[in-house]
Amino acid sequence: MNAFDELVSNFSRLPGIGKKSAIRMVNWVLKQDSAYIHKFSQNLGSIQEKIKPCSVCGVWTEGDPCGICSSPLRDSSIICVVEHSQDVSTIESHGEYKGLYQVLGGLIKPLEGIGPSQLAIPQLINRIKTLNTKEVIIATNPTVEGDTTALYVKKIIQEQVGDQVKISRLATGIPVGGDLEYIDKRTLSLSFSGRIGM
């Protein structure tokens, strides 16, 4: 395999990138200034050393704890539970939500060998107890796995904490089978304002 094909193979592994797109990307890279390519490769090579999950909520961050967890301006009585760190970025980009987050690190997917023990549910329970949380908003995607995980998280919270914490789910402004990453600001805003207990 030559260098061109190897780079095409590397780009093809990125989410949503097929072979044709990867070929276009490699051709674009070859036309760029060598100083830009060098800087890009340095940034890419050091990203895993510089960015780590927050030890508190699990969001990708350069500082630990992250800026959200350490901010005195956030409402610590509300925790929004999301599947991945990119969901936090999506919600934050709209500026509607002012509480804290807990990144689960995935969803319950028995067919893929992912069970509840592989998710950050114990960390969530610990934070609910420590912060005296009043509400937990479950913002997993409205898919079979997302709904299953949401129901499981709700059950564990009720078992461990009781009824003193309100548990809600984002309203159905988000289309079934949709992904938080692609939701527009208005839909996300309506989903938060119209959330319901579960």
CA distance 194 to 170: 7
What are the C-alpha distances in Å from 43 to residues 40, 57, 105, 109? 5, 25, 24, 33
Candidates 125, 149, 130, 19; CA nearest to 76 is 130
**Alpha-carbon span 191 to 194, nearest angstrom:** 5
Tell me what pLDDT residue 183 has: 80
User: What tokens does 102 get?
Assistant: 């807990």
> What confidence score (pLDDT) does residue 108 get?
92
> Residue 3's CB: how many other CB atoms inside 10 A?
8
- What is the pLDDT, as a whole number, of residue 88? 96
The pTM assigned to this predicted structure is 0.79
- Per the DSSP assignment, residues forming a β-bridge with 60 are 53
pLDDT, position 101 = 97
DSSP string for the chain: --HHHHHHHHHHTSTT--HHHHHHHHHHHHHS-HHHHHHHHHHHHHHHHH-EE-TTT--EESSSS-HHHH-TTSEEEEEEEESSHHHHHHHHTTT---EEEEE-SS--BGGGTB-GGGSSHHHHHHHHHHHT-SEEEE---SSHHHHHHHHHHHHHHHHHH-TTSEEEE--TTSPTT--GGG--HHHHHHHHHT-EE-
Digit-by-digit pLDDT tens for the chain (198 residues) are 799 999 999 999 999 999 999 999 999 999 999 999 999 999 999 999 999 999 999 999 999 999 999 999 999 999 999 999 999 999 999 888 999 999 999 999 988 889 999 999 999 999 999 998 999 999 998 888 998 999 999 999 999 988 889 999 887 666 767 777 878 776 777 677 767 777
pLDDT of residue 42: 93
Q: What is the pLDDT of residue 24?
A: 96
CA distance 122 to 9: 38
pLDDT at 124: 96
